[in-house]
Structure 1
């Protein structure tokens, strides 16, 4: 029988680079789909999307700025490596989301399918980043911190914060937009809840 200790692996720099790179790309792809169909999401990205819709500012730029205050918390609680990886990942995602429209355009996409694609791609992308000790900063840092300290699953923490963001969004957007957006957020968070298990995957 294999014990947890026997399943430990050590990630190389190349392992981390490809894992974080894949995660950023999948998250960027999901955000491109989300904004194309005019939906919203939760977490820090959701706040950035709402601000972007209301002001016309670039999502990438808003997302980068909003994340800045969270790096101090990440450094104090989760270490330098996690903070640097998160900073690099957030910067990369900001660039990817701004550049994708130049090479990938979508003709027709129903909001329901867009929500599913968003939830699946971003959920898998975040899993890849979590497994390489990275994140997209913001409220995700808080969720990971709560899970590591209390055992309360990161997915549930994100669901609670999403509920607050969606309640505010319901005052600003049509209920159809909020409804389809909620579908995407639920899919994303359920993927993280069922698959982000440190007792199943341990890496150093």
Structure 2
């Protein structure tokens, strides 16, 4: 265990810090999924697409999420490097595990869709922010978003919001309009958290 506690350079996280970041970030994301599923809502990004597929086919969210992310790892290796890709792969795998474990220990008797949307949005935003700051994402559009912000100065929140528009347009084919509106509020909260907190001029540590 000593290798996890080595002193890192001043501008980098230690291996132990990265590990707790991956565990904490993915736990918050899994909690977000619980809020959304309890409210029969979806979210944006690849997680939202995975929820749509799982609702439509009756499959496990964790399995669908893991499989959809597989093609993006090639892009991650080419654009962001091996370390980023391995961290992202680990984050996706850990989140998949959390989505199986959390339902065994918690449930909701009632959760209003608006409350579920806001709570899910805040949890997802905080979880993604932690992962970004430890040099990882949850795959998919997050890989593209982080790469564009780091290399082109385009904010990650804006990139993800564009993808979200496509996901919610697809959701209209499966859900009532009011449900999609609630879900869109949750996605807006998520992207607001990222947009206002993921700033290279304020925090640069990986």
TM-score tier (shorter)? over 0.9
TM-score normalised according to structure 1 size: 0.94
Contact kept, 8 Å, 1:115 with 1:184, in 2: the verdict is: yes
Q: Extract structure 1 runs of 4+ deviating beyond 6 A.
A: none
TM-score normalised according to structure 2 size: 0.93
Q: Which runs of 5+ in 2 are unaligned?
A: 1-9
Give the corresponding residue for 1:5: none
Give the corresponding residue for 1:81: 83
Q: Which runs of 5+ in 1 are unaligned?
A: 1-7
- Structure 2 distance, partners of 1:27, 1:42, is 12
1:46-195, aligned counterparts within 5 Å?
A: 46-195=48-197
Give the corresponding residue for 1:13: 15
More relative contact order in 1 or in 2 (CA 8 Å, sep 6+)?
1
CA deviation vs aligned residue, 1:93-132 (integer Å, no higher than 9, x gap): 0111122111111111100000000000110011011000
SS in 2 for 1:51: helix
- Structure 2 distance, partners of 1:202, 1:136, is 19
How far 1:186 sits from its partner (Å)?
0.1
1:35 aligns with one of 34, 37, 52: 37
- Structure 2 distance, partners of 1:140, 1:26, is 16
Q: What root-mean-square deviation, in Å, do the aligned CA atoms of Structure 1 and Structure 2 show?
A: 0.9
